[in-house]
Amino acid sequence: MKLKAAFLISALNVAVLAPAHAEAPRSVDARTFDIAGVKTGMDYDEAVAAAAKNFQVSKSEMKAGYATLNPVTNTKTPLDFSYRKDGVELVVHFEPRVPVDKQRPLAVSLINYEMPWTPANKAAMGQAVVQKYGRQSNYPNDLSLEWCQKPSTNPGMGCSIDMKQAVLNYTGVSIRLYDPAWSDARVEFINQSNARKPSF
């Protein structure tokens, strides 16, 4: 009987103390973050200027991707640019801006930054991301760090529960910032453009 009572008291202590020690997931709007000076939503020229300033090189060092058809403006524009030096790589991807803005026809939707893999580079990146962006939303997970506005209460799930939100992800020697709002807006624009009334 005494053993049962001791067990119940121990279990109650754990139940009472556990919430006090558990840290709530950190909610943060990843759209406020930048990678190498580039933020989601920036126009092409803004992003090129920001990346060039970050790396302290001329804008001509940013290599434009192939011009492809922009389905919103119906014009050909490069939908990405990249910068590569000494094994470091930055790739910035764009979506057509919706609502349409002729002065700023593109919007950054995805930014990837990667360094060559070495144990020292991995350790340096791990320290740098927390120093720059703060504690990850999926803390204490330290294998794949994620920052988002609506993280899961389960650190193992991280930010994957809401596929509509912007997420900053760090793994090993690479960082990725993606905001799906821009691709979602493009898809909705095309769907609306293709809407027809049945006339049979």
Tens digits of per-residue pLDDT, 147-182? 999 998 887 778 877 789 999 999 999 999 999 999
In the structure, what pLDDT confidence band is assigned to residue 63 with cuts at 50, 70 and 90? Answer: very high
- CA distances in angstroms from 27 to 19, 77, 105, 158, 181, listed in the order given: 18, 35, 31, 11, 18
Other beta carbons within 10 angstroms of residue 26's beta carbon come to 16
- CA distances in angstroms from 73 to 34, 46, 101, 116, 181, listed in the order given: 27, 19, 9, 38, 18
Virtual CA dihedral for 123, 152, 137, 169, nearest 10 degrees?
50
**The one-letter amino acid at 15:** A
Tens digits of per-residue pLDDT, 127-143? 999 999 999 999 988 88
C-alpha span between 170 and 115 (Å, rounded): 12
